[in-house]
Amino acid sequence: MGTKRDFDFPTSIAPSDGAEESASDSCGHDLVLLDQLTEEKMLLRKLDRRILPITCFLYLFAFLDRSNLGNARLQGLPEDILGGDPTGVLFDWLVSVFFIPYILCQVPCTVISKYYNPRTWIGCSAILWGLCSTMMSTANNFATLLVARVCLGVFEAAFGPSVVLYFSFYYTKNEYGTRVASWFGFAAVASAFGGLLAYAIQHAKVSIAKWRLLFIMEGVPTILLGVLCLFILPGRPESTEFLTPAERKLAADRMNRGTGGDVGVVVNHKHVIAAFLDWRIYVAGVIYFGLNCALGSLSAFLPTIIATMGHSSALSQLLTVPPYAVAGVILLIASYTSDRIQSRGFMIVAGCTLGGIGYMILLGVTHDQHVRYFATFCIAAGTYASIGLVLAWFAHNLGSETKRATGMPLFGAIGQTGSILGSHLYPLSAGPTYSYISYRLENKRRNEEFGEPDLDERVDTSELADKAPGFRYTP
């Protein structure tokens, strides 16, 4: 009997049956959470491998096709079909006319896209704008090239905002910014690649005008990518055959994490109206307007600006590459950081400041060409980082799928008018920097009135979108 007592736990530390059950339940709960996290990471990697490559390369060629006039200008386009264009007015209109249908068609195209399979919508728009870009190589006068640019604007309007909406189907708040930045960062890659391609074409010995070859080489791959998109891009999370049934359920749960508004082939008309009445969307449009002034002028005129530093046309094409390469790196760093800290406003302020400093240097320094070239790095890095952050900022701050489908292209359309201005002028960028304060104040007000919510708890936004009491903005 004494021997048996030697093996008993001391009374003070012996676990009770209830404690054993509690420890067992806690361990089991932790294992379930670990399994869920592992499954989610595997799903995220699977989605990234399938979604990001095709959408990023599509945007690369979309940006090439809309901005290649800057390179074509140095390859003889004005002399061939614009009568020399001594004032530059015709060239300016060719650049800016793209943005007129691009602005007007963004909202209706993005809302209508909700009724269609995303891969069909995105793939067909790519095929159509690729055809327009390729046909630009056959233009013989200002009018035919102008028509091709107008059609290009229509079909790209069906692409860009729809992809930004499409990403919100699969990625959560903590993942979205980095993915949008990776996608938008290919605009910087496109600008760098466009300079390299233009440099190579400049030295090619061909029987057709070099600017015509440029349009062909940038248009045909777009068509091929569009066809590929029809077969490999996943559709909506709840119905795509790309995922297993378990993965579809997990993807749908992730899509509704934190909110529970309208999803699928449906448009909530009240949320469409709510988007048009939301003043923050118009403030975002003003910010985006200023940034697009910078981006529009940069993409259209950077080769010409560098040429004024005393470089040949071919070398000027090549020297556009480093500023865009640096811009892409800065964009990814800024977006990754904003995802981690879940704050985008301050990062936008920093980007706008960097771009503004670059413009002041470029306008203020006239004799030191090395300093002026350095300024182009500041402009490109600040502009691209800020635009990528603005695009990511509003996707999860609009509360429902319909309000995102309306609000994002709405502020984008307002902002794209800046690209029209940027194609006619070379303005000093001074983007507004205050609206993130509104988000913080509204979150504070809701916390005081309704209490602090569990951020992982699902919020029903089907009626009020982002105005729901439990919804919290990303500042």
Instruction: Kindly tell me if the per-residue pLDDT of 25 is higher than 60.
Output: no
Taking residues 99-120, what's their average pLDDT? 90
Instruction: Kindly tell me if the per-residue pLDDT of 137 is higher than 80.
Output: yes
Q: Between the ranges 41-45, 303-307, 314-318, where is the mean pLDDT highest?
A: 41-45
The domain locations on the chain are 34-249+267-430, 445-474
Instruction: Kindly tell me if the per-residue pLDDT of 16 is higher than 80.
Output: no
Determine the number of helices (DSSP H) and then strands (DSSP E) in the chain: 20, 0
- 469 confidence band (pLDDT: 50, 70, 90): confident
% helix, strand, coil for the chain, step of 5:
75, 0, 25
Lowest mean pLDDT among 37-46, 58-67, 151-160, 252-261: 252-261
- Selection from 148, 141, 139 nearest residue 101 by Cα: 148
Q: Note the helical H segments in 68-172.
A: 69-73, 77-81, 89-97, 99-113, 118-135, 142-157, 160-170
The CA distance from 157 to 459, in Å, is: 31
The CA distance from 374 to 269, in Å, is: 49
The CA distance from 303 to 225, in Å, is: 27
- Positive or negative torsion for Cα 389, 392, 396, 398: positive
Lowest mean pLDDT among 207-216, 309-318, 359-368, 458-467: 458-467
CATH class of the domain whose range is 34-249+267-430: mainly alpha
Q: Is 310 helix (H, G, I), strand (E, B) or coil?
A: coil
Report the interhelical angle of 436-450 vs 345-364 (nearest 10°): 170
What is the structure's pLDDT at 261?
53
Lookup: tokens for 38: 């592992």
- 429 confidence band (pLDDT: 50, 70, 90): very low
Q: Between the ranges 134-138, 239-243, 254-258, 469-473, where is the mean pLDDT highest?
A: 134-138
What is the structure's pLDDT at 437?
55
Instruction: Dump pLDDT digits (tens) for 355-389.
Output: 889 888 887 887 888 888 898 899 889 988 898 88
Instruction: Kindly tell me if the per-residue pLDDT of 186 is higher than 70.
Output: yes
Looking at every residue in the chain, the average pLDDT score rounds to 80
Whether the model pTM is above 0.85: no
Instruction: Kindly tell me if the per-residue pLDDT of 324 is higher than 60.
Output: yes
Instruction: Kindly tell me if the per-residue pLDDT of 112 is higher than 50.
Output: yes
Do residues 80 and 209 make contact, with C-beta atoms less than 8 angstroms apart?
Answer: yes
Taking residues 151-169, what's their average pLDDT? 91
∠ CA 336-342-346, rounded to 5°: 85
Query: What would the DSSP string read from start to end of 76-103?
Result: THHHHHSTT-TTSHHHHHHHHHTHHHHH
Q: Note the helical H segments in 233-368.
A: 245-255, 269-276, 279-307, 313-319, 321-341, 345-364
Do residues 155 and 129 make contact, with C-beta atoms less than 8 angstroms apart?
Answer: yes
The CA distance from 342 to 164, in Å, is: 18
Lookup: tokens for 56: 């990023």
